Amino acid sequence: MEKLLGGQIGLEDFIFAHVKGIKKEVEVHKSEDALGLTITDNGAGYAFIKRIREGSVADEVKVICVGDHIECVNGHNIVGTRHYEVARMLKDLPRDKSFTLKLVEPMKAFEMLEPRSKGGKPGNENKVGTGRSTLRLRSKGPATVEEELTEFDEKAIKKVDDLLESYMGIRDTELAATMVEVGRDKMNPDEFAMALDETLGDFAFPDEFVFDVWGAIGDAKQGRL
């Protein structure tokens, strides 16, 4: 664990591990272009549902839950596929048609943890989900606990997340936050593009998208967003 987490975990921190639970198959009618799902993955070929937008197509299908591992789409096994590829696959499914998802629900150790709940409010005795610190595991370097986002971070991440949806059909705040972090200290778009390619080269972002992301980060720095 010390090697995995860099010795950064304190006694009051929670660690959640996905242990396979109930398998389920659900048919979804895609009545809108967007399903309202945010997909992430563990870097080892397993894609998970990270967030379900309230009132969305996916939200109406109560069998679909945050934390579910997506195993198959229309009978096609997607184990080994990155989250942005899964998101693109779901986005490309035809509208007004039905499709099937095979999901694996994680085992829950604490029934009081409700994935779809909005979390506790400040002052609530239930401390789960009330903090804004984030444990970030990195492929390079130790794990870090990030404190509350600054106004710059919030504005820049939101704008980059909007650009991700516009260009790639996905929403991923973690990916957006990584891109903002890469561009935080860069002085020009060329320097930013080189750093982005080094950090997230697997995404093969188009030049126009990279330029727009650089502009969004620059606007956030100047408080114009």
Q: For residues 192-205, b (16+ Cβ closer than 10 Å) or e, as one string?
A: bbebbeeeeeebeb
* 28 and 99 Cβ atoms separated by less than 8 Å: yes
Q: Are 169 and 163 in contact (CB under 8 A)?
A: no
**Residue 101: its H or E element:** strand 98-106
Digit-coded pLDDT (tens) for 124-152: 444 333 344 544 444 445 545 555 567 78
What global pTM score does this model have?
0.48
Between CA 21 and CA 26, with CA 22 as vertex, the angle to 5 degrees is 140
Cβ 59 vs Cβ 52: under 8 Å:
yes
What pLDDT, on the 0 to 100 scale, is given for residue 149? 65
Q: What confidence score (pLDDT) does residue 96 get?
A: 94
pLDDT one digit per residue (tens) for the chain, 225 residues: 443 444 555 555 555 556 677 889 999 999 998 898 888 887 778 888 888 989 999 999 989 988 889 999 999 999 998 888 898 899 899 999 999 999 998 876 544 444 444 444 444 444 333 344 544 444 445 545 555 567 788 888 989 989 988 887 778 888 888 899 888 888 898 999 998 888 887 777 888 889 999 999 888 877 654
